[in-house]
Amino acid sequence: MDIVFWAAIGGGAFLLLLAIAYFAPARATVVFDTTASTARADLRLFWGIGPVVSSRALPRTEASERLRFFDEPLRIGHALMTPGIADAVYVAVRDLFDSRPRLARLELGVNLGDPGRSRVVETAVQAAYAGAPAAIRDIIVISQCETPGAELRGRFELNASPARLSSIWSAFRNSRPAREFRRRLRSKPKPEKKPVREVRTS
């Protein structure tokens, strides 16, 4: 009977420790890079003094390889023009900034084979961040990459609980633009007969 009692106490203490680890702030590094198929969060638990755990959004076996479909200009261009995707990314970045990151960087490189299509993507990103605080606007870099397709890189170092990071990721992943982005990325678009019209802003 005593063994059962102490086993129950030990099990309860373990579950409590897991709950504290999930909701307590951790020293986190969030990294994503489509050129290396990397999207992960490395967390040192318990205010940065506990063990290190990693959470991956992509399988480890894909690491060091270019993310599939990002090197296909027509396919990734169609996906990047998903209505609202730039706004959904902005919401996620804004939520990360609520934790006052020590380091933040977000880079988008595009080379879609059509200046009009590339301009549409760049304009959508600029429009989404136009009203953002200067601290957020300053971390965004948009450029033309040498490799056909698109490249997305980012790094955030901050203090945030696993629960908070999971909430941000889930909200973005389950948003309508993100779901449509994934659908477009999986579907091979038909070649367009006419070039995409360039969007000009005054």
Helix (H) or strand (E) holding 110: strand 103-111
pTM: 0.81
Model confidence pLDDT, tens digit, residues 23-42: 788 899 999 998 888 888 99
Taking a C-beta distance cutoff of 8 angstroms, is the pair 129, 90 a contact? Answer: yes
Q: How many helices (H) and strands (E) does the chain have?
A: 8, 6
Given a contact cutoff of 8 angstroms between Cβ atoms, the answer to whether 149 and 71 are in contact is yes
What ranges do the domains of the chain cover?
A: 26-186
Please write the tens of the pLDDT for every residue from 94-120. 999 998 999 999 999 999 888 888 888
Contact present, 104 and 139 (Cβ < 8 Å): yes
Q: Within 13 A of 170's CA, how many CA atoms are on the CB side? A: 6
